[in-house]
Amino acid sequence: MATSLFQRLDARDRALFDRWTIDRSTAGRRAWIVVTHMGGLWCSVAAATVPLLAASATLRAAAFRAFLGLAISHVIVQILKRNVLRVRPTEELGHESLVRVPDEFSFPSGHATAAMAVALAYAMTFPMLALPLVALATLVGFSRVCLGVHYPSDVLAGQTIAIVTDLVVFAVVR
């Protein structure tokens, strides 16, 4: 019996999840937990709003675009989560998460979206910082898989939402 493209992609997603997920005994577990929190609510909102108080007009403009990208992408993520209803790997596979699971739905990853939305907004304004910022945002997304709370496609979808949102915000808000 032939399998559909969706079934093959889902199987690949699960295989990557199994390969990349770490367990409690992993030495670098605490580092992944620190990285994952960089995409959390408090850290991403602070990164997008605290620089609004800066003296530099360029930094304030970047922070405003980061805040808009973060807010708009978050709305998109929440709409998708409530309509797609993809169950997290902790529920579907019985896999233990190494961090608190923020809600019951997995697709797309809010942490991956938030980290990329903020990082890319600053990276587009300050190109010299683009590589480290985008690399850190990518690691935040990867940490969500390593810690067992998302499938790789959840992360990829979230990061794509952030990139598209930031490109639109950057084109509209100067």
pLDDT digits (tens, 9 = 90+) for 74-133: 999 999 999 998 888 887 777 777 777 878 888 999 999 999 999 999 999 999 999 999
Structure tokens, 105: 């739905």
Domain spanning 27-172: CATH superfamily: Phosphatidic acid phosphatase type 2/haloperoxidase (1.20.144.10)
| Residue 22's pLDDT band (cuts 50, 70, 90) | confident
The mean pLDDT value for 30-50 works out to: 90
Please compute, for residue 38, the number of CA atoms within 13 A of its CA located in the half-sphere on the CB side: 21
1 pLDDT more than 70: no
Handedness of CA 115, 120, 125, 129 (dihedral sign): positive
CA–centroid distance for 99 within its chain: 15
Structure tokens, 155: 């992360």
33 pLDDT more than 80: yes
| Residue 19's pLDDT band (cuts 50, 70, 90) | confident
Supply the pTM of this predicted model. Answer: 0.90
**pLDDT for 31:** 87
The mean pLDDT value for 154-170 works out to: 97
Q: What percent of the chain has pLDDT over 90?
A: 59
Measured CA to CA, the distance from residue 139 to residue 133 in angstroms comes to 10
55 pLDDT more than 70: yes
**pLDDT for 2:** 65
